[in-house]
Chains A and B, each alone.
Chain A
């Protein structure tokens, strides 16, 4: 097998707030191989966006990467070593902030955001912004950069690119703006593009256009993608491999086909059961009960146990690390103790009273800390 393009190992990013430490990303590991599209799926608050900004070291205060290693093409984007006083400090191989800015961001790893209007400056022309980006990152003279910018616009399917070059972002439709951002992302022929919910704000027909464009470009340039989304349908459509996140952790990691047809983790299963389908009529949806707990005070043991229909007493105590449960040659990791390989006595353990096993309204009230607060208030 080829070597991975990007390796994320045990990444932990935490936010230090007045109310305590928010463990937004808590020890995730995954690889991205050249030319593949890797999905990062989860609900709001799962830590997907924090994970991707950690890869580019763009986490803002009060957030901080506190542990883990990120390696990209032999370069250490993030790494720690033990200092003389035993305190961890950035390792010597780790790129400096300037190297990150000059060599990695935009050039080797590009990013596409959800809201194209916020990523484009409304007071400059679309073409001008694209040209400047190319000029800076590829060291081209202005005239060549302009020609390149027009070619890129044509490449991503902007009609009449010569004339639209001089238009402003508000004159573009949402889908067109997202195309411009894609043009910007591929302008430097990066090896990896991080797409952070790029089609969430778009209509289905426009989403279809963008997914088609991405597939074309990916084939042409062989770029790898990390595709961040909450939409399982988009995952099914575009991804090769998928990482499912829940509350800062990756709980299942599999090839897309295995994920949908040989689902291992109860959370993934519940997520799939809760979505209405466009291609068949489902009489009753089976929602995940309760709301996602807060990352500031995650449940003990398996973090999903408070909402899991299959939770047993042991799930409160044992925190499972993902293990390979694959029956074929494709790795399929899941973190659920109900599988025999974990061998923690799941079968013998008594079932747990949870939101999911409780009555109708049980899942709809507060998280634990809020409920306590409520009690104190009365």
Chain B
């Protein structure tokens, strides 16, 4: 209904005058758009660190993927070692260079040491980024697309469609996600593809809720009603008004979700449900190092650090984006 004088702007006159003043000083700043977002991110040191970490890992993963898919580890073999093949002469469980353990002392050829089958840990870590990033991005993409679809339809149309879709996603949400993914993989197959799909499905409710709540609140905005009153088609309303305006929190959530997915798939690999040997993956490396914790502790430390580093990178980036995209915070 109508509120008379709908929130008199006079209650905080200074705030009003400062915001208009901001637009008066120098150029006219627009508080929207990609360029503005980037300029905000650049002003935030933490977010910047996040960008560097994520950027670095992405580059490494790209290199690994190119080598794997196009050259079949030719580059790896040329400059380092084939990460999958067992070496001919076995130098098992060597420590990193400059350290010693009961199996020998570290050598420069294996800077981070070797694993239980004598393979170079550094190479396997580098090539493990491919699995981690693929899984992280694909699972998030599946969750994002599925969740956006379900959430947008649910929020825009409401009514019984909303009820059915929401009860369905709540059911997924109610099952512990590891149980769900393991059950899913047991049914369909224990490989990386199904791990990705499984983790992606568990992310659907997360995005669904976010998108739905955004759509429901944006749907009530006057400018949506204005567009409807002007005779704009539903499809155009969703594309031009609703999606651009719900974009910000989704981007943040997606960034965080990549980190979460990497962590989950590492956990699955650790349990033997993810990438299958000999494909190098961090979770699997952790799993293999279990038996050698005492004699060769560094074997387990490296993949652990890699996971930590990556997940923190994504989380920092997500937090930074959140601040940068929040219209209430503008300094």
Contact = CB atoms under 8 A, between A and B. Distances in A.
B39 interface: no
Contacts of A115: 7, 11
A369 interface: yes
A45 B27 contact: no
Contact count band on B:
20 to 34
A373 B14 contact: no
Q: Interface on chain B toward A: helix, strand, loop, or mixed SS?
A: helix
Given A44-B16, A50-B14, A376-B27, A19 B21 contact: yes
A294 B24 contact: yes
A48 B14 CA distance: 10
Contacts of B11: 49, 114-115, 196-197
B17 to A, nearest CB: 5
Interface in B1-51: 3-5, 7-14, 16-18, 20-28
Nearest to B18: A17
B330 to A, nearest CB: 10
Given A18-B331, A44-B8, A202-B4, A63 B14 contact: yes
A92 interface: no
A18 B330 CA distance: 11
Interface string A187-219: 000000000110011110000000000000000
A242 interface: no
A47 interface: yes
Interface in A99-148: 114-115
Contacts of B14: 15, 22, 24, 50, 63, 295
B18 A45 contact: no
B18 to A, nearest CB: 5
Contacts of A373: 23-28
Contact of B13 (A17, A49, A200, A203): A49
Contacts of A114: 8, 11
Contacts of A372: 24
A46 interface: yes
Nearest to B24: A369
A203 B4 contact: yes
A22 B17 contact: yes
B13 A296 contact: no
Contacts of A297: 21, 24
Contacts of A50: 13-14
A197 B11 CA distance: 9
Contacts of A20: 21, 25
Interface string B296-325: 000000000000000000000000000000
A91 interface: no
Contacts of A48: 10, 13
A49 B18 contact: no
A230 interface: yes
A22 B21 contact: yes
Contacts of B3: 201
A230 B8 contact: yes
Nearest to B20: A294
B266 to A, nearest CB: 42
Contact of B17 (A18, A200, A294, A374): A294
Given A18-B331, A203-B4, A24 B13 contact: yes
A233 interface: no
A19 B16 CA distance: 13
Give the one of B8, B13, B16, B20 with max A CB within 10 A. B13
A133 B8 CA distance: 27
Contacts of A15: 14, 18
B331 to A, nearest CB: 7
B4 A201 contact: yes
Interface string A261-296: 000000000000000000000000000000000111
A174 B14 CA distance: 27
A211 to B, nearest CB: 15
Given A370-B23, A373-B26, A376-B27, A22 B18 contact: yes
Contacts of B27: 373, 376-377
B8 A200 contact: yes
Contacts of A230: 8, 10
B28 A19 contact: no
6 contacts: A19-B22, A19-B24, A45-B10, A114-B11, A197-B10, A377-B28
Interface of A: 15, 17-20, 22, 24, 43-50, 63, 114-115, 196-197, 200-203, 230, 294-297, 367, 369-370, 372-374, 376-377
Given A19-B22, A45-B9, A115-B11, 18 more contacts: A17-B18, A18-B22, A18-B331, A19-B25, A44-B9, A44-B10, A44-B13, A46-B10, A49-B11, A50-B13, A197-B10, A202-B4, A295-B17, A369-B24, A369-B25, A372-B24, A373-B24, A376-B26
Report the 8 A-B pairs with minimum CB-CB distance, sorted nearest first.
A369-B24, A44-B10, A296-B21, A45-B13, A44-B9, A15-B14, A17-B18, A19-B21
